[in-house]
Each structure stands twice: as C-alpha cells, then as structure tokens.
Chains A and B, each alone.
Chain A
Amino acid sequence: MSLGELLSSLRNLQTQLFSVSVQNLFENQDAETRKRFVAFRQEVSLLVGKLTNAELDHIAHELDLLSSDLKAGIQNLDQSLNELQSALSILNFLGNVLGLVSRVAILV
C-alpha cells in the first residue's frame, strides 16, 4: 500500500469517525466510553495530520532542490534583458554622436 493509498483510507476513516451519526451515537454513551472514543479519534487525526505533513514536506524538499537552478534562469533572462537595454543606450548614444558629427561636417 502506497503512502497515498494509506492516507486516503485513513482520511475516510477520520471522516466516518467525525460523521453526525457516529457523533450522535457516542453522545449517548457513558463518560468512560466517550473518553476512550475521543482518544482513539484524536490518534487517527494526529496520524492523518502527520502523514499529510510528511507527504507535503517530501514534495517541498524536492522542489527546494530545483530552486537554485530556477534562480540561475531568472538571472540569465534578466541579463539578456539588460543587454538589450544596454544595446539600446549605445544606439541612442551613437545616434547623438553621429548627429553632431554630421553637423560638424556640414560646417567644415
């Protein structure tokens, strides 16, 4: 049985334990029976909670391993964009210089 299947079964069990019919049934039991039932129900909830956390934590860990490469990708893309902006600045500068040179050439 996989972790996913185990979790699914435990969640179904938890849903049944907290269902209205089960709750109503135990409301009519003596204090000791109610206490034992609640202790069992809490154990199931804790188990479901901890297993869910383990499943999510595993995925989070795997994703964290990819973070540095994603950051490198962001840097690479930003650099390409910066180069385009630099090229634009240089072309604007070149345009201004050529404008001045052509005016000087006309005067000479």
Chain B
Amino acid sequence: MGRPPWAAVAFCILIIMLAGSSCAPTEPYINLAEAGVTYAQAMDKLLDACIDISVNATSERMLQNKLLATPTLADYNAQTQVDRDRIIILRRLQSHARLMGEYFQALNDLAASKAPSQIADSIGSIVDPLNALGQELRGSDLLKNKGAVATGTQLVVGSIIRGRLRRELEQRKDTIDGELQLQAELLKALAGAMDADLKQISEIQEQRLVIKPLIDSRAISNPDQWVAARHRFLTTPQVSQELNGASEAVSRLRLAFEESVAGSLNRDRVKGLLADFGSILEFAESLKR
C-alpha cells in the first residue's frame, strides 16, 4: 500500500464533486490488455515447445551420427552443453514473458474493475441517510435525485480509471514499444530455430518410423502406431509461417498501443488482435501435443 489514506479520501471527494460529468468506456483498454495477456500465454507455451523441439532435434542428430560412427563422451558433452545453455536462455525468456503477462493482467484488472458500479452503489447508500438528515434538519432532501447521483458517480469513476490507464500507457509507452519490437524479433528468431529443428526431426523420424518399417520385408509390428506416426509427419505444423504471422500480429499490437496513448484506439483492430493471439495460443498448444 503505497500512498497514505488521504489519497483515497481526496479520491472520494473528487468523485462526489464531479458526479454528473460524462466519460467514455474502458472497453478498448480491456480488449488491448486481453490481447496482451493472451499473447504472453502463447509466448510462454511457445517457449516450452521450443525447448522440447530443440532437445529432441539434438537427440535425433546424435542417433543419426551414431549410425555412421560411434560417438565419444566429449562429442555427447559438447552437444548437450549447447542444449543446456539453450534451455537456460529460453527459461529466461519465459520468465520475461510471464512478467509481460502480469503487466497486461494488471492493466486489465484496472480497466475491467467493478469499482465504478460498486462506488456508485456506495454513493447511493449514502444518499438515503443524507436525505433523512436533511429532512430532519431543514425539512427537505439534501440530494434530490438519487438515481442521477449514482449514475454520475459511475461515469466519473470510469473516467478516473480511464485517465489513469492513459497516464500509465503514456508513462510506459517507450518500454512497451521496445518490448513489442523485441517480441517481434524473438518470434522471428524462434521461427528460424524451430522450423529447422522440426523439419529435421520430421524427416529423420519419418525415415525411421514410417519408411523403413514399410519397405522392410517383415510385417509392421504395430500397424496402428505406424498409421498414427505417418499422420503426424504429414500434418507437422508450418512453424515458420505461423510464427512470422505472429510477428506481424505483434507489430499490429504495437500500433494499437500507439493509438491507445494518442486516445484514438481502433476497436476493430484490437478485436482482430484478440482473435490473432487466440490462434497463436492454439498453435503453441498444438506444438506441445
């Protein structure tokens, strides 16, 4: 709890003083924050998948090498060290993705806060005793229109929240811009690494699990597994295409942030982004399966 109680008291006075003025809804901010949260979740899962794919690709390459020449312990250690280093870096990136998710979640919590209606209810509950007091002291209500006071309060609190959101985004605009630029760069880097590894895994495994058993003169020991394996290789996701698409979506998120700071956020763009990041999340989950 950072600020002293007088900040909240001043806030209450401000609400009561301003009741009656109007404001715009916080919905675009909610959508923007939701897009950010969904993106952070997708990135988290994508980095998990990247660890698996990277380690499995090295294992497949080790097995291919062994078919030609017996490896030494030094060979194994050198390849494994690269994997270990990769895992450390990807976990760091994952922990940053989670922090970014927390930021968007905090933005969403404030934008979607129920405080305007709760405070309006509280103001409404103050009006009755105030009017009872007014009747007792001077024979008339102190606040004539209870409904208008409650509605005005709700609008004012919404306006205050919106102002704080805008100030926060103004304050953080360079950081968010830098963050999203780096995220777009990261997606391209991951696309390059994962695409190459997945293609290699797919080709090697298809040879070992599908082609060799099929052209062998002996019967396939487990036909159902063979069918499932062949299906998996033929339907391997197009990582490069998906992740480059994700990188473009992140660039659009940057644009949406610029618009939100300038107060001209395009609702349709933000809704489109929500759908885009939802698809990326689905794709990242499909890589984990």
Given contacts A74-B103, A87-B119, is CB(A98)–CB(B129) below 8 Å?
Answer: yes
Other-chain contact of B164, A55, A57, A80, A94 (Cβ < 8 Å): A80
B96–A67 touching, CB < 8 Å? yes
Over the window 36-73 of chain A, the binary record of Cβ atoms lying under 8 Å from chain B Cβ atoms (1 yes, 0 no) is 01100110011011101101110110111011011101
A79–B3 touching, CB < 8 Å? yes
Q: Which residues of A contact B93 (CB under 8 A)?
A: 56, 59-60, 63
Other-chain contact of A59, B68, B102, B189 (Cβ < 8 Å): B189
Q: Which residues of B contact A41 (CB under 8 A)?
A: 61, 65
B265 within 8 A of A: no
CA distance A50 to B84 in the complex (A): 11
Other-chain contact of A102, B102, B110, B133, B179 (Cβ < 8 Å): B133
A95–B164 touching, CB < 8 Å? no
Q: Which residues of A contact B79 (CB under 8 A)?
A: 42, 45-46, 49
Given contacts A59-B186, A84-B157, is CB(A66)–CB(B175) below 8 Å?
Answer: yes
A11–B109 touching, CB < 8 Å? no
Total A-B residue contacts, Cβ distance less than 8 Å: 206
Q: Is the interface of A mostly helix, strand, loop or mixed?
A: helix
Q: Which residues of A contact B215 (CB under 8 A)?
A: none
Using CB atoms, name the residue of chain B closest to A85.
B115
B200–A87 touching, CB < 8 Å? no
B99–A73 touching, CB < 8 Å? no
Q: Is the interface of B mostly helix, strand, loop or mixed?
A: helix
A99–B129 touching, CB < 8 Å? yes
A60–B92 touching, CB < 8 Å? yes
CA distance A38 to B63 in the complex (A): 11
Given contacts A53-B89, A60-B96, A85-B115, is CB(A19)–CB(B203) below 8 Å?
Answer: yes
Report how many residues on chain A are interfacial, defined by Cβ distance under 8 Å.
67
B37 to chain A, nearest CB (A): 13
B36 to chain A, nearest CB (A): 11
A15–B199 touching, CB < 8 Å? yes
CA distance A20 to B110 in the complex (A): 56
Over the window 7-34 of chain A, the binary record of Cβ atoms lying under 8 Å from chain B Cβ atoms (1 yes, 0 no) is 1100100110011100100110001001
A81–B68 touching, CB < 8 Å? no
Q: Which of B185-224 contact A (CB under 8 A)?
A: 185-186, 188-190, 192-193, 196, 199-200, 203-204, 207
CA distance A90 to B185 in the complex (A): 47
B122–A53 touching, CB < 8 Å? no
A81–B126 touching, CB < 8 Å? no
A91–B69 touching, CB < 8 Å? no
Q: Which residues of A contact B118 (CB under 8 A)?
A: 88
Given contacts A18-B64, A56-B86, 20 further A-B contacts (CB under 8 A): A14-B196, A35-B69, A45-B61, A46-B82, A49-B82, A56-B93, A59-B93, A60-B92, A60-B93, A64-B96, A70-B172, A76-B168, A81-B106, A81-B115, A82-B2, A84-B11, A86-B7, A89-B8, A91-B122, A101-B129
- Give me 30 A-to-B residue pairs in the complex whose CB atoms sit less than 8 angstroms apart, sorted by A's number: A4-B188, A34-B68, A38-B69, A41-B65, A42-B75, A49-B82, A59-B182, A59-B185, A59-B186, A59-B189, A60-B89, A60-B93, A64-B92, A66-B178, A66-B179, A73-B103, A73-B171, A73-B175, A78-B106, A78-B109, A83-B7, A84-B11, A84-B161, A86-B7, A87-B15, A88-B118, A89-B8, A91-B119, A98-B130, A102-B132
